[in-house]
Structure 1
């Protein structure tokens, strides 16, 4: 159902499988199975997860999976009840996403310039890395979306990209001029390589893997002076969103660009707007600055004395 009706990605299917397996393993120790699970058995499973020190986000995700599973069984007529209906899931802690400063992003992209005298394989690695960084930062694509791009998506005058995201949802994202130039440089470098993928790996017939890109990103991060623990494709996506909001973009536009199905997912970035609104109030409100009060008091005292 997840694959056919919701077009769930392989990674999503694997995550659901792992969560269902974890639940079934716990139920078997109580003499139950997923098919015969009781509300008490499921509550004991949740209690065991909490006692084992599992993260609240992990517990919430697994409970969400089990709720959907039993709701599916109920709607499909495989069970007459839903034992997961009353499960209480802890609210996951929503930490602010990590992001790079604008100067760090510029340094990272500049690190993609091939060094003088670089060998062909090294030269291509740097050109590919620079094109990927320009594209990720210009569009906010997920790494899976970027690595799935095909060469025929790009023409010399391409200004918009059609992206197929989570759940098979499609969206159009604009392509910046620096990103377009960097991609054209990669296409020129790979003009003699066969294969359909824009970002191909060692084998031209296969796309670059996530692990392969991580190695390139780590190398460029080292050249740019960005610590490895602050660098990942998702950090670049967060940086795109954070910098867009900081420069005046609204949440609805950002939701469309990021491919979020729900605006609540995009609202995690409102910390940027909060900082900007606070700065605006402090700058433009007549009593926003501490010195304004003292100056107003002094002016009022002078006026009273003159009167």
Structure 2
């Protein structure tokens, strides 16, 4: 049977040439069997499928409610099979070569809960070998929480720019772009405490 021969030979090659793991080959097999079943329903098989067939199959997968990642993996399996078939001379052209996948879904950045933020701030206040270390850690965490600055922006901030209990701080970001960010009362208090301790140590 053509379907079994194509899939079996392709999977054997993946194991021998690419050292594909068992789970990977099992996923390939499931994906390709599903594609083969769909092709049968269209009166086609691996040898006669066209680019339009592959594209229509992906549309079918989408209408079935399959996740974007699953559809991307199925296309990857199909592309792998047809690349192998072309190299082996089973096909004179690769019907899947120029088909773009659905990509990956973009997820929103994860945020911390208030409880998690409180735990981080508490850890900053209690961790450090000296009082100066703990004040510095608290200052850093309060500033990050209050302003949303990147770590690289924070550590490159001149001390002179935060003296005098400022309500706003000028931050230089990517590409040299500057922006003003507000400081919360807790951040200002932590900043003042750290600067005071720092000045005492330098006297």
TM-score (norm 1): 0.35
Q: What does residue 28 of structure 1 align with?
A: 40
1:279 partnered with 2:136: no
2:80 is matched with: 68
| Among 44, 54, 58, the residue aligned to 1:42 | 54
Residues 83-114 of structure 1, C-alpha deviation per residue, up to 9 Å, x if partnerless? 112322111125479xxx9x9xxxxxxxxxxx
User: For 1:188-214, what per-residue CA distance to the aligned partner results, in whole angstroms no more than 9, with x for missing partners?
Assistant: xxxxxxxxxxxxxxxxxxxxxxxxxxx
1:38 and 1:47 map into 2 onto residues whose CA distance is 14
1:202 alignment partner in structure 2:
none
Partner of 2:71: 59
Instruction: Say which one has the larger Rg.
Output: 2
Distance 1:40 1:284 in 2: 54
Partner in structure 2 of residue 260 of structure 1: none
- Distance, in Å, in 2 between the alignment partners of 1:87 and 1:6 is 23
Q: CA–CA distance in 2 between the matches of 1:89 and 1:68?
A: 13
Alignment correspondent of 1:252: none
Within-5 A mapping of 1:45-194: 45-93=57-105, 95=107
Higher-RCO chain (CA-CA 8 Å, sequence separation at least 6): 1
Unaligned runs of 5+ residues in structure 2 are 1-12, 111-115, 120-147, 171-179, 181-203
Q: Residue 91 and residue 283 in structure 1: after superposition, are their counterparts in 2 closer, same or farther (change >3 A)?
A: same
- Counterpart selection for 1:15 from 12, 15, 27: 27
Give the number of equivalent residue pairs: 120
The corresponding residue for 2:3 is: none
Q: What is the RMSD computed on CA atoms of the aligned residues? A: 3.1
CA shift, 1:65, in A, is 1.0
- How far did residue 13 of structure 1 move? 0.8
The residue number in structure 2 matching 1:2 is 14
- Secondary structure at the aligned position of 1:35 is classed as coil
For the structure 1 residues 62 and 290, does the alpha-carbon distance in structure 2 shift closer, same or farther, using more than 3 Å as the test? Answer: farther
Q: Which runs of 5 or more structure 1 residues have no equivalent in the other structure? A: 104-275, 295-307
Distance 1:291 1:57, change over 3 A: same
